[in-house]
Amino acid sequence: MAAEEPAVLHSPEGRTAERLRPLADLGLRDDIVWSLVDAAPDGIVMADEGGNILLVNRQTETQFGYDRGELLGRSVDDLLPERFRQVHRAHRTRYRAEPRMRPMGAGISLFGRRKDGTEFPLEISLSPLRVDDRLMVVAAVRDITDRVAIEAEAERVGKLLDATHDGLFIFDGDTLRFTYVNQGAIEQVGYELEQLLGMTPLHIAPEFTESEFRALLAPLVGGDAESTQYLTVHRRSDGTDIPVEVMLQVEQATETGRPRSFVAAVRDVRERIETEERLRETERELHTLEDHERIARDLHDIVIQQLFASGMTLQGVWSRIKDPDVAQRVATVVDDLDRTIREIRSVIFGLQAFGEASRGLRQDVMVVASEAGEHLASEARVHFDGPVETIGAEVAAQLLPTLREALSNVARHARASAVEVTVAVDDDVVLRVVDDGVGIQAARGTSGRGLHNMADRAERLGGRCEFRDAPDGGTVLEWTVPATSTR
């Protein structure tokens, strides 16, 4: 019996294809042919021009969760989510009018619907097939779930990389050309993405020649180091140079052992360098201020006190000198010592004014004592005890006028030759003014309005103001307010 003639196949353009040899002549039985169809890695669906399924392979069953018998005769629309079916009917009508091959990856976002109702992304290639006068469509269906997940993860990572302020540059190990740059790199150097992808690190790093740069890469290429870090400058598209810190790492090597590419994480360190310079300048100013404070403290606590003691000694001697000329010379020396003390105090104020922004209450107390010294027999000696710099503005606003009133009272009524002022901070803030004058009764020999004002200022802060006789004569004023009033 003669072999069965094969069906005549027609191309999409309608030309008769070359007659095919019977499958039997090739030794291919039907079961072998079906095995070939079932062995295809993609799903294969053949449908007539009305969209009715005529043939499916095993991969299609796996993809959609149907048995083959459940699919044959059904519409291909049943393999699509409900929301796409109406539009797909329109697509089939247009395709029937102009059938042509459409490859996978044609830019169409498609989804399949499994038997259990779940959906998955897919790609479809279409091939028209004419058997005699009938149009059939063969669709190859590929599940791209894994690829979509990888692409989504790559997009997420890309967004994270673009969100970072640092620049990320990836360049080829052979050509040195950039293969990837993130948004931070684009903003850092001011070039467009297309421009950077045609450049190399040498286009933006003026400090390197190619030989110098490849020498920098050599330890990474040879496996002697996993990464290297260095400071350099990058030249922006506008010609300005910015200092940067570069962390350079080598990516996975090829089979030949040569590095595939390098990854450079680049940080703009302008702010850090400026901050470090400001810190160094602040440290220099602080050292200078500390020197000034030390000098001022030594002048006040040592030199002035020694001069004051010498003056007091000369005054004691002066009262017992009988020779008028000698007495006059001693008096002149005492006056000179007083004048020297005032000049040294002026120098102290000048030194302390260098750090006026952070001087706190100390400087203000010294100024008040210096101003009152013009009306006293000798300038008041001032002492500080405890963290005076913590005294807040509310307490300072009452303490300073209290001190001014107390020193004014000593100048007017006490007839004192020496005054000591102490500002101490512990559980309370204490202002103590001690003079060696005529005593508290004489000090109160006025209307007493000043004493009332001092007491009133203490009471406003929940404190008190007390007067008492000093053990060796004179008066002690002690003005105390709670330390809770400090900041």
Whether the CA torsion 295, 296, 301, 305 is positive or negative: it is: positive
- Alpha-carbon distances of 115 from 59, 66, 71, 143, 469, rounded to whole Å: 14, 6, 10, 15, 106
Amino acid letter, residue 66:
Y
As to burial, measured by CB atoms within 10 angstroms (0-12 exposed, 13-18 middle, 19+ buried), residue 348 is: buried
Burial of 470 (0-12, 13-18, 19+ CB in 10 A): middle
| Contact between residue 386 and residue 425 where contact means Cβ atoms under 8 Å apart | yes
pLDDT of residue 242: 92
User: Shortest CA distance to 161 belongs to which of 263, 28, 41?
Assistant: 263
pLDDT at 444 over 50: yes
Region 139-150: what's the mean pLDDT? 87
- What is the percentage of the chain residues whose pLDDT exceeds 90? 28
Under the banding of pLDDT at 50, 70 and 90, the label for residue 14 is very low
Mean pLDDT comparison of 75-89, 90-104, 364-378, highest-scoring range: 75-89
pLDDT digits (tens, 9 = 90+) for 338-356: 777 666 665 666 555 555 4
> For 106-133, what is each residue's pLDDT tens digit?
546 689 999 999 999 998 888 888 877 8
Which of 87-91, 258-262, 276-280, 432-436 is most confident?
A: 432-436
Q: Where are the alpha helices (DSSP H) in 238-323?
A: 270-298, 305-318
List pLDDT tens digits, range 257-302: 566 789 999 998 888 888 888 888 877 777 776 776 677 666 666 7
Q: Where are the beta strands (DSSP E) in 276-415?
A: 381-385
Q: Which range, 129-133, 434-438, 444-448, is most confident? A: 434-438
Cα–Cα nearest to 372, from 340, 333, 401, 336: 401
Question: CA–CA distance from 472 to each of 66, 319, 465, 469 (Å)?
Answer: 113, 21, 21, 8
- 96 vs 450: which has the higher pLDDT: 96
- What is the mean predicted confidence (pLDDT) over 450-467? 89
Q: What is the b/e burial string over 281-311, where b = at least 16 CB atoms within 10 angstroms of the residue's CB?
A: eeeeeeeebeebbeebeebbeeebeebbeeb
Q: Are strands 381-385 and 419-425 parallel, antiparallel or unpaired?
A: parallel
Evaluate if residue 256 carries a pLDDT over 90: no
Check pLDDT > 80 for residue 244: yes
The answer to pTM > 0.75 is no
- Residue 233 · residue 241 · CB < 8 Å: yes
The DSSP H or E segment spanning 395 is helix 393-409
pLDDT at 20 over 50: no
pLDDT top residue among 134 and 150: 134
Whether 227 and 249 have beta carbons less than 8 Å apart is answered as yes
Residue 397: what pLDDT?
Answer: 87
Strand 134-143 to 43-48 pairing: antiparallel
Q: How far apart are CA 229 and CA 267, in angstroms?
A: 11
Does residue 411 register a pLDDT over 80? Answer: yes
CA distance 263 to 106: 33
Q: What is the pLDDT of residue 331?
A: 78
- Block residue for tokens 């095995």: 35
Q: What is the pLDDT of residue 283?
A: 78
Q: How far is CA 308 from CA 326, 335, 377, 403, in A?
A: 20, 11, 12, 22
Residue 445's pLDDT band, with cuts at 50, 70 and 90, is very low
Residue 103 CB contacts under 8 Å (≥ 6 apart), including other chains: 125
Q: How confident is the model at residue 162 (pLDDT cuts 50, 70, 90)?
A: low
Mean pLDDT of 158-163: 64
Closest by Cα among 238, 241, 125 to 190:
238
Tokens 């203490």 belong to which residue?
A: 458
Question: How high is the pLDDT of residue 311?
Answer: 72
Backbone angles phi, psi at 100, to 5 degrees: -160, 160
10 pLDDT band (50/70/90 cuts)?
A: very low
Question: Phi/psi at 259 (nearest 5 deg)?
Answer: -65, 135
Give the whole-angstrom CA distance, residue 399 versus residue 422: 12
Query: What's the whole-number average pLDDT of the chain?
Result: 80
Higher pLDDT, 29 or 453: 453
Beta bridge partners of 53: 47
In DSSP terms, 122 is beta-bridged to 110, 143
pLDDT at 248: 92
